[in-house]
Amino acid sequence: MLVAKGREKREMKRLRIGRSHSKQQTKAKSLKEVIQQWNLLNPEGAIPVKLVKLAPRLNTLEGKTIGFRANGKQNSDHFLNRIAELLTKQLKDVKIIKLWEVVPSSFDYPPKPEDIQKIAQLKPDIIIGSQGD
């Protein structure tokens, strides 16, 4: 009888362990794999775009006033200096304005409104800008 009771106890213990293990497995499964329906808010933000109309384009640079605008970084002015040389050699009656010389803060980013006005008052027909980076 004692042996039978011992066997019964062991069997009960085995069943309890088995049930507990099974519960843990179910809990682990539910923690890992909870698939649910989410209602989520989009974090991007809409873009209230106001369309900008570009300026009319030129069909020639001959006889035109060309504003050169460097971004203040190394070689942006040297690059534009060479473009200015080539334009003056190859095209007739081209007038060059190096904006970094006449409006030194013209490379500020963003450009100051007063500098934009100063540049516009020079009446360039086109502005060629260059980064140097």
Partner 1 sequence: MNQIDFEKLGIPTVTVVTNSFVGDAKASVLGIGVSDMAFVVVPHPMGGISLDAIRAKADAAFPDILKAATQWKPTVTKLPPAKSPYVKSSKFTGTYADVNKMFFEKGWSMGLPIVPPTPELVRAMLKGTSHHPDEILWEVPPRGGALTVKLAAIHAVMAGCRPEYMPVLLAAIDGLRSDKMSWRSATTTTHPNSPLVIVNGPIVKELGIAYNTGAAGGCYLPNVSIGNAICLIARVVGGAKPPDADKSTLGYPGNMIATVIGENEDANPWEPYHVEKGYKKSDDIVTVTVGGPPVNWQDHSSTTMEQVMRVAAGTVNYPGQNGSCYRTPFQGWGGDVFFILSAEFASLLKKDGWTKDSIRKFLFENGRHSIGELQAECVEIVEKRLGSKVTAETLLPASSSPEQIQIVVSGGMGKQSQYWPTCPGGPDHAIMINIDAWK
Binding site for partner 1 (CB under 8 A): 32-52, 54-61, 67, 69, 71, 73-76, 78-80, 82-83, 86, 104, 107, 109-111, 116, 119-120, 124-133
Consecutive H or E run containing 121:
helix 113-121
Q: Which is nearer to partner 1, 20 or 117 (CB)?
A: 117
State in angstroms the smallest separation of the CB of 19 from partner 1. Answer: 27
Q: Kindly report the backbone phi and psi dihedral angles of residue 12, in degrees, each rounded to the nearest multiple of 5, phi listed first.
A: -60, -40
Q: Which is nearer to partner 1, 95 or 125 (CB)?
A: 125
State in angstroms the smallest separation of the CB of 36 from partner 1. Answer: 7
Burial 25-62 (b: 16+ CB within 10 A, else e): eeeeeeeeeeeeeeeeeeeeeeeeeeeeeeeeeeeebe
Q: Which is nearer to partner 1, 5 or 57 (CB)?
A: 57
Q: Which is nearer to partner 1, 20 or 25 (CB)?
A: 25
Distance of alpha carbon 1 from alpha carbon 13, whole angstroms: 18
State in angstroms the smallest separation of the CB of 27 from partner 1. Answer: 15
Distance of alpha carbon 69 from alpha carbon 114, whole angstroms: 16
State in angstroms the smallest separation of the CB of 96 from partner 1. Answer: 13
State the DSSP code for 104. Answer: G
